[in-house]
Structure 1
Amino acid sequence: MDRAEIVHRNFLSRVAAQDFPEGPSPRAGLSGEAAVSLFRAQCLSRALDRTSRAMQRAGQGFYTIGSSGHEGMAAVAHALRPDDIAFLHYRDAAFQLARADQVPGQDMVWDMLLSFACSSEDPISGGRHKVLGSKALMIPPQTSTIASHLPKAVGAAYALGLARRRPPEHRELAVDGIAMCSFGDASANHSTAQGAINTAGWTSVQGGPLPLLFVCEDNGIGISVKTPTGWIEASMGHRPGIRYFKADGLDLYEAHAVAREAAEYVRRRRKPAFLHLRTVRLYGHAGADVPTTYLSKAEVEADEANDPLLHSVRLLAQAGALQPDQALAIYEDSCALVEARAREAVTRPHLQTAAEVMASIVPPSRACAATNGPSAQARAAVFGSDLKAQDEPQILSRLINWALADLMLEHGDVVLMGEDVGRKGGVYGVTQKLQTRFGSDRVIDTLLDEQSILGLSIGMAHNGFLPLPEIQFLAYLHNAEDQIRGEAATLPFFSNGQFSNPMVLRIAGLGYQKGFGGHFHNDNSLAVLRDIPGLILACPSTGAEAAMMLRESVRLAREENRVVVFLEPIALYPMRDLHEPGDGGWLSRYPAPDARIALGEVGVHGEGADLAIVTYGNGHFLSRQALPEIAAAGLAVRVIDLRWLAPLPEAALLAAVAGCAQVLVVDECRKSGNVSEALMTLFAEQGISAARLTAQDSFIATGPAYAAPLPSREDIVAAAVNLAGRGV
């Protein structure tokens, strides 16, 4: 007999014998009707856990991480409002069931059974994963979370405060709402949890509104590793800027009373709070997990003896809300209901094709208010003397700065955030003057934590803002890439397009910085970005192109709900000359504020038919530098700037190389795992003769050897001439 069946039989026999675990009397604050409703949600949650295991044994269900022992979360749901956005731990079925009782028209048992069965009719994920989540209940879906949802909960809470001062066009959350996130005691040790909690306290101490309730469900163990006794309270009980609350989650009445007190504190003070909720874990981690392999039988039985449903029956009886025989009837009716409905749920259809699975990778577009761009008066007020300078050729970094200013003028919900972007104006001056022009709540100097920067962006997008976060260097993204891969990019996929978190993530990156920083500041690997489904990766090379591509990136995020990464080549920020000192060949004029380069539109320089050089970023600059020498060898060449690296602009690219005898791919990134591999595959599939010149599979050194592993102008000339069969 497995532990789930043991717990079930223990409950039946102990309630019948009125053999209950000891505990305090019920606290005030819950009406009898409300308490019975919450107990019903607890029973349904328990029945769903048992049924999910039966479905898996029958090959009809695909998820068995349950909520048994955590049913006290039903009381937390009752302490909150149904429009308070909730980012849930995967053991929070009772929370979702109790919240559904607050919103008319919900059939959460049926919805969750469809999710267990991975039916295409599952209303939250469309059969893509078993997730807790509901648009109607303001619960964005989570996959098997550790703590990766906590940074975006901080962002959502920050957005609630900012929306009071600057209401965004697509605001989702109530003005007086709060945000809530829940997680386990083991997850509290994860870097994403620690970063989010630290960021919340950091913001609160500085006086910023951050109405966020952290709920730590402490069952004392993470899969098989025990949490040290007293660890959560010792480590979280005195965090600066965060009020600590503690409750027994086995006690429905106490959990509700303390959760309500914590929620009222957060709502009234607009400050974060930490609710430490004692729970137990029943059954083990999941269906295949046998807890007695790493816990003694006595420890397992001690937790089972503290079954929160047994505590609830005792408390309901003591409160005069429900007699034990009536509670037993509710439990048995819940089991029968769930079993009966499961028999129907497993007959519902599933996703069948790749197209069906992929249908929600790209979210649906949304209606946006029309805009004619910033007025002449507004531009004059913001730009001042820079308006006259816009008539003169400028460097890349300055044109990006002006494009950001125009975008912030045009769209009041555009918000920039990142380390040093405000008062300093960015490490390379790209965001200079923007904080002065638009305020510190639209150009936000963040703490040094890339996970929190991206979480802030994701959470703010949940409330209708259009975030433009900055990661200072491409290498720093690796500290936080899961916030893009596992959170931002997957949200439309796992919500069947119902939730999205559009943003334009600006990253300074790539190589060729002379003698500065080594691979920490010269990172030429894009592999972690190019393989994320649905993500758009843009890489400009000239200032005018950067301005027009940035505008298109913002349009894609604002109107089409896309996640865009805008990769800015650091080495080209200050570039002025192309061939000779003082020639100004890489400067460009600021394009009109309404000029854009559309997604998938490539750049073509020249009309030569002997060779097409396909490249991007610094490779575009170097290829243009190489043209005179290549031409001197008698070759007629065209240079094609990809601009959009993901998804690859295949149709435009094939049209651009049409009629050329040879194709040379120049990829400044490493030979393995980068753009050139996809390009060579495309050309091979189309029967086009091509070769590639790439960086070596190496990190970049500091000092004189900074460019040694990277393609050079001389390398491009040699490769072009050799490919054309002319020899050097």
Structure 2
Amino acid sequence: MDRVQIVHDNFLRRIAAQDFPEGRAPTGGLDDDVARSLYQSQVLSRALDIESRAMQRAGQGFYTIGSSGHEGMAGVAQALRPDDIAFLHYRDAAFQIARAAQAGQAGMMRDMLLSFACSSEDPTSGGRHKVLGSRALMIPPQTSTIASHLPKALGAAYSIGLARRRAPEHQILPRDGLAMVSFGDASANHSTAQGMINAAGWTSVQGVPLPLLMVCEDNGIGISTKTPTGWIKSSTQHRPGIRYFEADGLDICDTYAVTTEAAEFVRTKRKPAFLHLRMVRLYGHAGADVATSYLPRAEVEADEANDPLLHTARLLVAMQAAKPETLLQIYQDTLAAVQAEARGVAKRPHLKSAQDVMSSIVPTPRVCAPTNGPDPKARRDILGADIAQMETPQPMSRLINWALHDLMLEHSETLVMGEDVGRKGGVYGVTQKLQARFGPDRVIDTLLDEQSILGLAIGMAHNGFIPMPEIQFLAYLHNAEDQLRGEAATLPFFSNGQWSNPMVLRIAGLGYQKGFGGHFHNDNSLAVLRDIPGLIIACPSSGAEAAQMLRECHRLAREEQRVCVFVEPIALYPMRDLHKDGDGGWMTQYPAPDARLPLGSVGVHGRGSDLAIVTYGNGHYLSRQAQALLDADNIKTRVVDLRWLAPLPEAALLEAISGCARVLIVDECRRTGGQAEALMALMLENDIKNAARLTGADSFIATGPAYAATLPSRDGIVAAAKALFV
């Protein structure tokens, strides 16, 4: 039988008969008007769930995962403030509806129906997803079905504490606010959730302010896999640095009272709390899910008998806040209103073209205060003797370090974070002296967890900071790549451009390190980044170029709200010589602090028209070595440094190779999934027929003498170039 209809019929019958489920007497804290308002929010959430299934059957709705059984989240909303940022579980429609009522915002019924219908008039996503969220209600939209939204909640909470000491220009969260994040009991087992909970405790025990409320909605099952009885409580109640609270999520009075207590603790103590709410799941996991196909009917019926709407009705009657017939009328009137509104919503317009769908991938630029470079005196005080050294050529690592100094001097909202970036100054010394000069709250030594590092950055960006997180090695990114793919890059898209989380992610990566660490420290795969829509990938090859591109990435993040990945070739960090020992040919002077290389530009070295070598990173260094040998053999060559790997600088590249008879693409990444695939396609599309590619092999990288055996080499480039002339 249709469980939706069964739950509906049970509600009508039991309210009329005053056959309420057993429960505690009402606890204090909720006055009659607020209690009735919460009931109305719960009923609207239920009615929307029912209608979403009807819309899907009629081909007018497209996503039916609902909130039935979790209506107690309305009490959580009431216990918080509308300006407390909330990262919501997908079953939290009642929270959003109750917050809208609390804030005096009308129209939530229509807004949610527009989302069900994927109408382009949906105020949250513009028709891109059925998703909770509201800019006015401080609810960033989440598309996560597991726990990937948890790490950024920690970042947002950290940002609230930091903003009290260092307010950013675009701050949106209040000084006395908190960050709330909700998730299911099954999601609590995900590594992302466990990492975030651990990071919250790790941060708290060090006395760092972290006003974070974690709400676990425990309905005892994840799709079909049960959560062991007592598991959530036993695994979380004694976590160091985190205060544990629990409440009956079926009881709106108890939920409100305990959440109020937990929120007061978080807000006043500036410490994290874990709120464990017992709930039930009605109707199965989603519209197509039939719970009785994998659960005993008796268990399904037991949950249905504990319908939270029946519990709220019981409490309201016991409080003498409403009569049963009034509660029943509210329910029936709400169902009718939702049905009537849905008929009109089904006719509203939808996204039609690819351009419509993609219009919010790239965020809208924002107005920023003008800057005129670092204050000269402050710069002298901070950099000291380093300033004199800037007049002589230096290796890349040193110039990146100075660029970070200048950016942090000029922009007080700029932060650096990652493993070992502070006291140690980074594995390769790139962040040396930054923490001593700018303080541990701007140069943050994090715990060893890439998901937490990126989540910290995403959450900080929600509150106006410009984070520059560091991933210690490229291969370590794979532990946390979904924080970029599923969270950072998707936020503008799924919020119709209303939310953004700009950042500059620095990654030490690529190959050619001699005898160090195997494929985890020599990793030549960028494929996981290249297919993320809207992501900018920069890869410098010289120090001066690195400094100027890093500044451009920072500008793109600060002014255009972009997510940038800055890939720093490890092997080029210390590089000094180009052709022979002691020639100093790969060192450069530090460029003026206001000099930048714009997105979409390329570098061109040489004017030869016989051959153009298109490359980047270590490939640029090797190609410049090969260029000298080719020129000596009367093959006039120019080397084009891509600089920007996504989006590819197609127009500038085609102009740079114009007039060249042959093109050789040198790609240090793997043959499969590397940049060369897109570049060869670009050549074909532009009728450039005499083109070839030299790439890394489809292999991991070895340690020891064979460290470069699978990668392009100077001599390999020369041979591949000459083959084009045969």
State whether TM-score is above 0.5.
yes
1:674 match: 674
Query: For residues 206-285 of structure 1, what are the structure 2 equivalents within 5 Å?
Result: 206-285=206-285
Tell me the distance in 1 between the aligned counterparts of 2:381 and 2:445: 24
How much does 1:375 deviate? 1.8
Tell me the distance in 2 between the aligned counterparts of 1:376 and 1:84: 39
Equivalent AA in structure 2 for residue 696 of structure 1? A
2:190 match: 190
Query: For residues 255-334 of structure 1, what are the structure 2 equivalents within 5 Å?
Result: 255-334=255-334
1:65 match: 65
1:33 match: 33
1:594 match: 594
Equivalent AA in structure 2 for residue 186 of structure 1? A
Asked whether 1:625 is paired with 2:625, we answer yes
Please give the per-residue CA displacement for 1:94-141, whole angstroms capped at 9, x wherever unaligned: 000000012234311100000000000000100000100000000000
Tell me the distance in 2 between the aligned counterparts of 1:632 and 1:394: 28
1:450 match: 450
Equivalent AA in structure 2 for residue 296 of structure 1? P
2:715 match: 714
2:354 match: 354
How much does 1:632 deviate? 2.1
How much does 1:722 deviate? 1.1
1:44 match: 44
How much does 1:243 deviate? 0.3
Equivalent AA in structure 1 for residue 340 of structure 2? A
Tell me the distance in 1 between the aligned counterparts of 2:713 and 2:570: 16
1:698 match: 699
Tell me the distance in 1 between the aligned counterparts of 2:32 and 2:217: 25
Contact 2:141 2:494 in 1 (8 A): yes
How much does 1:84 deviate? 0.1
Please give the per-residue CA displacement for 1:350-371, whole angstroms capped at 9, x wherever unaligned: 0000000000000000000001
Please give the per-residue CA displacement for 1:223-268, whole angstroms capped at 9, x wherever unaligned: 0000000000000111100000000000010000001100011001
Tell me the distance in 1 between the aligned counterparts of 2:678 and 2:468: 28
Contact 1:366 1:561 in 2 (8 A): yes
Contact 1:280 1:303 in 2 (8 A): yes
Query: For residues 256-655 of structure 1, what are the structure 2 equivalents within 5 Å?
Result: 256-655=256-655
SS in 2 for 1:415: strand
Please give the per-residue CA displacement for 1:507-543, whole angstroms capped at 9, x wherever unaligned: 0000000000010001100100000000000000000
Asked whether 1:17 is paired with 2:17, we answer yes
Tell me the distance in 2 between the aligned counterparts of 1:78 and 1:521: 49
Contact 2:144 2:486 in 1 (8 A): no
Equivalent AA in structure 1 for residue 499 of structure 2? F
SS in 2 for 1:648: coil
1:660 match: 660
How much does 1:407 deviate? 0.2
SS in 2 for 1:165: coil
Structure 1 gap ranges (5+) = none
Equivalent AA in structure 2 for residue 704 of structure 1? P
Check 1:421–1:144 CA distance in 2 against 1; reply closer, same or farther (3 A cut).
closer
Tell me the distance in 2 between the aligned counterparts of 1:167 and 1:177: 14
Please give the per-residue CA displacement for 1:385-437, whole angstroms capped at 9, x wherever unaligned: 00000000000000000000000000000000000000000000000000001
TM-score (ref. length: structure 2)? 1.00
Asked whether 1:165 is paired with 2:165, we answer yes
How much does 1:378 deviate? 1.2
Tell me the distance in 1 between the aligned counterparts of 2:376 and 2:180: 43
Say how many residue pairs are matched: 725
Tell me the distance in 1 between the aligned counterparts of 2:339 and 2:181: 30
How much does 1:145 deviate? 2.6
How much does 1:332 deviate? 0.7
Equivalent AA in structure 1 for residue 588 of structure 2? S
Tell me the distance in 2 between the aligned counterparts of 1:401 and 1:217: 45
Please give the per-residue CA displacement for 1:310-356, whole angstroms capped at 9, x wherever unaligned: 01101000011111111111111111111110111111000000000
Contact 2:664 2:721 in 1 (8 A): yes
SS in 2 for 1:707: coil
Contact 1:633 1:721 in 2 (8 A): no
1:136 match: 136
Equivalent AA in structure 1 for residue 308 of structure 2? P
Tell me the distance in 1 between the aligned counterparts of 2:376 and 2:411: 15
SS in 2 for 1:669: strand
With 227-236 and 322-331 compared, the bigger mean Cα shift is at 322-331
How much does 1:376 deviate? 1.5
SS in 1 for 2:27: coil
TM-score (ref. length: structure 1)? 0.99
Please give the per-residue CA displacement for 1:178-233, whole angstroms capped at 9, x wherever unaligned: 00000000000001100110000000000000000000000000000000000000
2:686 match: 686
Contact 1:538 1:646 in 2 (8 A): yes
2:80 match: 80
Equivalent AA in structure 2 for residue 408 of structure 1? M
Contact 2:52 2:61 in 1 (8 A): yes
Tell me the distance in 2 between the aligned counterparts of 1:243 and 1:496: 36
Asked whether 1:2 is paired with 2:7, we answer no
Tell me the distance in 2 between the aligned counterparts of 1:496 and 1:10: 40
SS in 1 for 2:275: strand
Tell me the distance in 2 between the aligned counterparts of 1:105 and 1:284: 31
Contact 1:552 1:599 in 2 (8 A): yes
Tell me the distance in 1 between the aligned counterparts of 2:106 and 2:466: 31
Equivalent AA in structure 2 for residue 311 of structure 1? H
SS in 2 for 1:101: helix
Equivalent AA in structure 1 for residue 714 of structure 2? R
Equivalent AA in structure 2 for residue 717 of structure 1? V
Contact 1:435 1:442 in 2 (8 A): yes
Q: CA RMSD in A?
A: 0.5
Tell me the distance in 1 between the aligned counterparts of 2:634 and 2:417: 50
SS in 1 for 2:479: coil
Contact 1:552 1:596 in 2 (8 A): yes
Identity of aligned residues (%): 75
Equivalent AA in structure 1 for residue 424 of structure 2? K
Tell me the distance in 2 between the aligned counterparts of 1:217 and 1:573: 48
With 89-98 and 101-110 compared, the bigger mean Cα shift is at 101-110
How much does 1:627 deviate? 1.4
Tell me the distance in 2 between the aligned counterparts of 1:709 and 1:721: 20
Tell me the distance in 2 between the aligned counterparts of 1:4 and 1:484: 37
Tell me the distance in 2 between the aligned counterparts of 1:105 and 1:83: 13
Tell me the distance in 1 between the aligned counterparts of 2:381 and 2:400: 19
SS in 2 for 1:547: helix
Tell me the distance in 2 between the aligned counterparts of 1:170 and 1:144: 26
Contact 1:611 1:724 in 2 (8 A): no
Structure 2 gap ranges (5+) = none
How much does 1:631 deviate? 1.3
Please give the per-residue CA displacement for 1:49-82, whole angstroms capped at 9, x wherever unaligned: 0000000001100111000000000000000000
Contact 2:73 2:92 in 1 (8 A): yes
How much does 1:724 deviate? 2.2
